[in-house]
Copies of this chain bind each other. A is one copy, B any other.
Amino acid sequence: METRVSSPTREVFIGDGHPTVLIGERINPAGKKKLAEALKAGNLEVVHREALAQAQAGADILDVSVGTFGVNEVKLLPQAVKTVMDTVDIPLCLDSAVPEALEAALKVYKGKPLINSVTGEERSLARVLPLVKEYGAAVIGLVQDEKGIPKDSERRIAIAHKLVEKATAFGIAQEDIIIDCLAFAVGADPGSGTAVIDTIRKIKAELGVNLTLGASNVSFGLPDRSLLNNAFVVMAVAAGVTCLIVDAAKIRPAVVAADLILGRDKHARRYIDSYRQRQRLQKQEG
């Protein structure tokens, strides 16, 4: 199954036949005090800089979120989206828990975006799916519902089935739904890593849809977070995840290595290019 998203000048394909797609996570004020302050002041300079840096680090798509206390997302999200579109030419992922903000961003976006996200909650389904359909977007579906995020694999898989059923009943193509299995911090719950990997494998086998993961949570509260995040994305990619919401600068080398091992990088061209690029950067910095 292949998900296509686009900007006015570029298409990105997500699916098993392609290298793992990296969705840059850094335009998001959660846990970033400086960015949150700038957004509250309506200052989009940091957004511009982060967009540029992530595209240079090899992000294929950029997630754009302005959701933080004190920000009017309906007003600011479309402005941030315009700023990013003026900065880079890669497709965007419009990220908000406020459907009105998503709609305002969809109105200004040029191309076929990803929407982040819809959940299994009736209210979310009823409000977000019509937007996905009307604007011809693709959407990330989170495996959570009115009862929160289930710990067990079975209930997560059941929500994934529900998301796909509701969306297709709405006339949305199955390839335009990407399921996010939601990773937890392994430091807090030792069984959560295996549960997520297991959920990924089963959803892949049962539904065949594309899968994504926000992979930085897994290392929360532990030292050497990159080491743990790298190991986790490698496992996730091997289990069937086809796109990742990550810090591309930190995660790309491990993902490129995983793709090479999994036969998604003929003649190791991408692996060697990525290596040479890191060598150049090191020389410039050192």
Contact = CB atoms under 8 A, between A and B. Distances in A.
A190 B235 contact: no
Interface stretch (A31-39, A78-86, A150-158, A222-230): A222-230
A98 to B, nearest CB: 33
B263 A223 contact: no
Contact of A231 (B224, B257, B272): B257
Contacts of A51: none
Contacts of A218: 261
A64 interface: no
Contact of A186 (B193, B222, B228, B261): B261
Contacts of A258: 231, 235
A227 B268 CA distance: 14
For the complex formed by this chain, how many copies does it contain in all? 2
A224 B197 CA distance: 27
Contact of A227 (B231, B235, B239, B254): B254
Interface string A241-266: 00000000000011001101111011
Contacts of A231: 230, 234, 254, 257-258, 261
Given A186-B268, A190-B266, A261 B232 contact: yes
A175 to B, nearest CB: 23
A260 B190 CA distance: 7
Chain A interface residue bracket vs B: 35 or more
Given A186-B261, A194-B262, A272 B223 contact: yes
A193 to B, nearest CB: 4
Interface in A191-218: 191, 193-194, 197, 218
A191 B238 contact: no
A222 B272 contact: yes
A167 to B, nearest CB: 30
Contact of A234 (B187, B224, B234, B266): B234
Contacts of A260: 186, 190, 193, 228
Contacts of A239: 238
A13 interface: no
Contacts of A193: 260-263
Interface string A139-165: 000000000000000000000000000
Contacts of A228: 257, 260-261, 271
A223 B271 CA distance: 9
A253 B262 CA distance: 22
Given A186-B260, A223-B275, 8 more contacts: A186-B263, A193-B263, A194-B262, A197-B238, A228-B257, A232-B257, A235-B238, A238-B238
> 9 tightest CB-CB pairs across the interface, nearest first?
A193-B261, A231-B257, A234-B234, A235-B238, A190-B263, A223-B275, A231-B234, A228-B257, A231-B258
